[in-house]
Every structure is written in structure tokens, then in C-alpha cells.
Amino acid sequence: MGVHVAAITPFTGEGVIDAPYFARLLAYFEAQGAHGAVVAGSTGEGPSLSAPEKAQLYALAVQSRGRLQITAGVLTCSLDETLYLARQAARVGCDALMVAPPFYYPAPLEGLIAYYRVVLDASRLPVILYNIPQRTRVKITPPLVDALLEHPNLHGVKDSSGSVRSMRQFLKYAPRLRVWVGEEKLLWQCLRGGGAGSISGLANVYLPRMVALCRAFERGEECAGLQSLIDAAADTIDAYPAPANFKWALERAGFPATHVRPPLRDLTDAQRAQLAQAWQDIL
């Protein structure tokens, strides 16, 4: 039970992965109590990374992991590329894969089942299904989970839909499957329903209170106050485009300036000024 950070991917001024920054970032997460990090996911601009860059990021994460569990984000439409990334993640020593459904073609349920079965059969690592339909336009549904449930490599689900109903559908599979929410405002509800915690973009910049909530829950303490603080932080920073918002907040926390890749855009000067005032009030 705990928080896994959906880590940003820092880039140098030349647009390549900034390895020293990334190593420092993972050490920062570990020091603040994270259980792990997911790399090359949505917050990590995974769809904007080439397959070799993703493999590079997996290796950098493992080298800098400390005690963190490292999950390799796999967000691609190509089954061959998914299998390549699964091999690379296993080769460098990642702990798990988080695999989004292929999202270009409108695949029928039978096609999604076949896709994931190939991945589960081939992977040497446990697999987490990634439900983020607002990005992929493809849902991880209970019938899909039911069809895959007995596979020994199926480890869990990350639900980033933001829907309480969706989260509760997945929590019915706990404890057979570990269930994480991407919507931080549902963290306490997830834990109360038997979930594993959160895989969170907000955790890049608001990790201590999220960790505190998980620890308070484990001790049987009231968590409403901590959840309210998390809600306010999420409302404030989510009003600005991710992951540029998180990269800005990390810069405010003392990390170097780093940019997002096109087609994403950095925050404008006006957005930075507005968020600076709002974020100061949150912290």
C-alpha cells in the first residue's frame, strides 16, 4: 500500500533525456517515502518517446532506484513494440509493466483479450493494466479483466478514469489484483475499498501528504483532513496542462528548468504567474 510516482521525463536544452536530473528526481521521491515510480507513462510523456528512449529511461530508473519499485510504462499501439519494451524492461531489472490498450484502431473485446494474452504470455514481468480512456478512447472493462484474471502474470490495474464507479468495478477484484487510482482525489476511497494506493502525477510535487495519508490509513487514523489537502492541491495544479504544470512546480522546488516535447507546450508566462500565486497558497 502506498504511492508510486508517475514520474515526469526531464529533457536537456538539446531535447534529450536528462539523466542526472532523472537520477536526482528518483532520489527525491525515495527520500519523501514513495514506494515506487512509473517511468514513460502519461505524465512521463511516454507516447512522445521513441522505443529506444523508453528503454534508456527504464535502465536509468533501475540504476537510480534505491529502494523504489520501478514500473515500465508501455503506451503504444504496436504489439511488436510492446513486446520489445517488455523484453527491455525485464533485461534491465524493472519490477513490472504498466500496459495501456492499443488505441488507434477501435478494437473489439476479443481483439483486446488476444493482445493482452500475448503480452502476458511473453512478459517475464508482472503486468498492470492501464485504464485511461480519456486518452486512449479504449476502456479496460470487467469482461476484459475477467477473461485475463486467471493468468499468473496479471498483477493489477491502474484506473485513471477519474470515475468512482470505474474504480469500484476494479476494486471487486482485490486482493487478487492490486488496484491503484490515478485520480488522487479518490486515494482515500481506494484504500478503504481494499486498493493499493495511487500511481500519481501529482506525487511529483505533492508526495509527502499523499504518503502521510497512506500511513495514517494503515494506522487506522482519520484521513479526511489529509484528503482535503490533496484535493485542493489537485484542483489547483490540474487547472493547468500536464505535465508542464508538474515540471514548473519541480522547478519551483529547486530542480532545473525542463521543457515538454511538442505537441505539448510549456506553461505561458501568464500561466506561470497565476499558478505561482495559487501554488504558494497550497504549500
Can you read off the three cell numbers belonging to residue 184? 488522487
| Catalytic residue of the set 158, 173, 240, 247 | 158
The helices-and-strands tally (H runs, E runs) of the chain is 12, 8
173 is catalytic: no
CA angle centred on 124, ends 121 and 128, rounded to 5°:
75
C-alpha grid cell for residue 45?
A: 510523456
Secondary structure (3-state) at 135: helix
DSSP string, 222-283: --HHHHHHHHHHHHHHTTS-TTHHHHHHHHHTTPPP--PPTTS-PPPHHHHHHHHHHHHHH-
Angle, CA of 2, 6 and 189, to the nearest 5°: 45
Q: SS3 for 107?
A: coil
- Cα separation, 59 vs 69, whole angstroms: 13
Report the chain's terminal Cα–Cα distance, integer Å: 25
Give yes or no: 139 in active site: no
Per annotation, catalytic residue among 58, 115, 130, 173: 130
The residues annotated as belonging to the active site are 130, 158
